Structure 1
Amino acid sequence: MTLRARILGAAAGGGLPQWNCGCDNCKLARSGKIPSQTQSSLAVSADGLSWAVLNASPDIRVQLSDAPSLFPSGLRELPLSSVLVTNGDIDHVAGLLTLREMQAFKLFATAGIHEVLAQNPIFEALNSTVVDRVSIALDQPFELVPGLTATLFPVPGKVPLYLEGETVQTDMIGEQTVGVALQSLDSVAYYIPGCAALTPHLRDRLEGAELLFFDGTLWTDDEMVRAGLSQKTGKRMGHMSMDGPDGSIAAFADIDIARKVFVHMNNTNPVLRPDSDEGARARDAGWTIGQDGMEITL
């Protein structure tokens, strides 16, 4: 079987344009001069008939409405078999509340992420007699959808913003932030929408991959600070930036990966402008800038 992936949402939390942002990118998107992007999510399938959604963004209703392969096939039937969340961030779990209308699917996550969801009673709207919550151990393969095996593995990151205390560790290794290895009969792909650093272990894991969707939150670490939009750097938010000596473009330069795609891009990131110099530099380095609706088949 093949591996088919559709980017449902290429932007980070807030999307493009973000509802309360007047940055250059958001103004261009509102005027239709650059494409708008919804919040971080990916759909995958092995047969094109049974699909899994990786991260349920707040925009999932619109995303599913724009994905013909995921249209309802009956009165209350949808080719959605499962949903997997890679962390407890609002932009990755809020969409679960949209999926509460008695639609049966399996909800996959680590035990740590399931615990975060269980602490908030609003997620009980996902009726437990219909939605099967399945805890997945790290580095243990499981069937995500027919013909497609997934394996969760830890990547450096942090707890969700709403769980932060006075001291925040941004490079935690554990169940709170994970990547996903996707294995079909003949292909291997990886989905890592949030990552604070490329560790030697992660580098070795990704070597030889056919396809990688990777965290592209910011172009430069201080991008939002310089724009006057935040006091937080990318590192403080638990994300690698694209540019710079310790950025992802440099870090992946000598790793054998057939196709590399940036996803989870913040609304300020200049690569979201198709004609930007930064976007050209990323493409020249072998990266694809993810876009809503982009499909890749291996």
Structure 2
Amino acid sequence: MRITVLGSAAGGGFPQWNCNCPNCAGVRAGRIRAKPRTQSSIFVRPDDGVDGVLFNASPDILEQIRASPVLQPARALRDTAIAGVVLIDGQVDHATGLFMLRERGSLLPLWCTDPVAEDLSRGNPVLGVLSHYCGVARHAVPLDGGSFEVPGVPDLEFRALALTGKAAPYSPHREHPVAGDNIGVTITDRRSGGRLFYAPGLGAITPPVFDAMAGADAVMVDGTFWRDDEMPRLGVSSKRAREIGHLPQAGEGGMIEWLARLPASTARRMLIHINNTNPILDEDSAEHAALRHAGIEVCEDGMTIQL
């Protein structure tokens, strides 16, 4: 299978429109060596296939489609390579791009958990709005360990795992998390056997999560923050990383430590959903160098992984 990283930033993108933190101001002024990024999303398709699955529909989806020819195969007057959409959660940066797909000529095939469907029906009624346009054919993502597939992409198998995290701020159960607010997904190519574990929002690594990571050839996981107190230190928020459902990279029990425990068979270890405040965005920073030394990649828009 081929995985195209459409967007690699956290909500707001990089640089964030209203932010003048050292990273955002630095990249605008050319003072730091860093690449702009759109909000996180990936597209997965079989090696020799055209159609594939869009994971998360960010508010930047139209820009991402324009930048990624694989999403527009032009086989007909109106066409798309998106056979279906899988949502990891119901957050604004992962779900509101669905509005931009409203011109689809048929029901939009959408896979999400029941709690996410509730959030997008009540708290942020995306699904209701789309019913006035293309409409949505919604399918429940199983959380019992069972696999599912997306019609039109028969060579790929998907298996979801409930994660520790936070529901969207507009969720009816924001302060009372339930299983399915946030998921990780193992994507398996049935022909090659290649396996990716994808979890852009990850608040804690439990034994089942670590087992899923260790069983994959590649992992693409939460890279939101470097430090737990990153935003309070900069004065942009009082919230710590773990409070809002993100495991930071540095420090005891951080993502770097967990990734170091993976077996050698996990050949690629990648971070995605990177917040604009994270110093790893500066390619000359000590933090970026620490990741390189640890064999950890920082995802960039447009990169392609083959498994």
TM-score for both structures, normalised by structure 2: 0.90
SS at match of 2:239: coil
Amino acid in the other structure paired with 1:94: T
Structure 1 counterpart of 2:299, from 271, 277, 290: 290
Structure 1 counterpart of 2:19, from 16, 21, 31: 21
Counterparts of 1:5 and 1:61 in 2: how far apart (Å)?
A: 18
Counterparts of 1:200 and 1:135 in 2: how far apart (Å)?
A: 24
Query: Where does 1:190-209 land on structure 2 (aligned, <5 Å)?
Result: 190-209=197-216
Matching residue of 1:133: 138
Counterparts of 2:303 and 2:93 in 1: how far apart (Å)?
A: 20
Shift of 1:72: 4.7
Q: Pick which of 127-136 and 192-201 moved more.
A: 127-136
Structure 1 counterpart of 2:104, from 78, 102, 105: 102
Counterparts of 1:183 and 1:28 in 2: how far apart (Å)?
A: 39
Matching residue of 1:158: 166
Matching residue of 2:77: 75
Matching residue of 1:178: 183
Q: Pick which of 127-136 and 87-96 moved more.
A: 127-136
Residue 45 (str. 1) matches residue 45 (str. 2)? yes
Counterparts of 1:178 and 1:108 in 2: how far apart (Å)?
A: 12
Counterparts of 2:203 and 2:113 in 1: how far apart (Å)?
A: 19
Shift of 1:108: 0.6
Q: Pick which of 89-98 and 131-140 moved more.
A: 131-140
Distance 1:71 1:176, change over 3 A: same
Query: Where does 1:115-264 land on structure 2 (aligned, <5 Å)?
Result: 115-119=118-122, 120-127=124-131, 131-138=136-143, 139-144=145-150, 145-163=153-171, 168=175, 172=177, 174-185=179-190, 186-256=193-263, 257-264=266-273
Counterparts of 1:211 and 1:233 in 2: how far apart (Å)?
A: 28
Residue 114 (str. 1) matches residue 122 (str. 2)? no
Q: Which segments of 5 or more consecutive residues in structure 1 lack a partner in the other structure?
A: none
Counterparts of 1:55 and 1:240 in 2: how far apart (Å)?
A: 20
Counterparts of 2:302 and 2:139 in 1: how far apart (Å)?
A: 28
Matching residue of 1:266: 275
- Whether contact under 8 Å (1:9, 1:292) holds in the other structure is yes
SS at match of 2:170: helix
- Whether contact under 8 Å (2:279, 2:288) holds in the other structure is yes
Residues matched between the structures, number:
293
- Whether contact under 8 Å (2:84, 2:109) holds in the other structure is yes
Amino acid in the other structure paired with 2:276: N
Amino acid in the other structure paired with 2:24: C
Counterparts of 1:287 and 1:70 in 2: how far apart (Å)?
A: 28
Amino acid in the other structure paired with 2:7: G
Counterparts of 1:76 and 1:10 in 2: how far apart (Å)?
A: 27
Q: Pick which of 27-36 and 269-278 moved more.
A: 27-36
Percent of aligned pairs with the same amino acid: 39
Matching residue of 2:91: 89
User: What's the RMSD between the two structures over aligned residues?
Assistant: 1.8
Counterparts of 1:13 and 1:194 in 2: how far apart (Å)?
A: 11
- Whether contact under 8 Å (1:100, 1:125) holds in the other structure is no
- Whether contact under 8 Å (1:4, 1:48) holds in the other structure is no
Q: Pick which of 131-140 and 217-226 moved more.
A: 131-140
Shift of 1:147: 0.9
Q: Pick which of 262-271 and 204-213 moved more.
A: 204-213
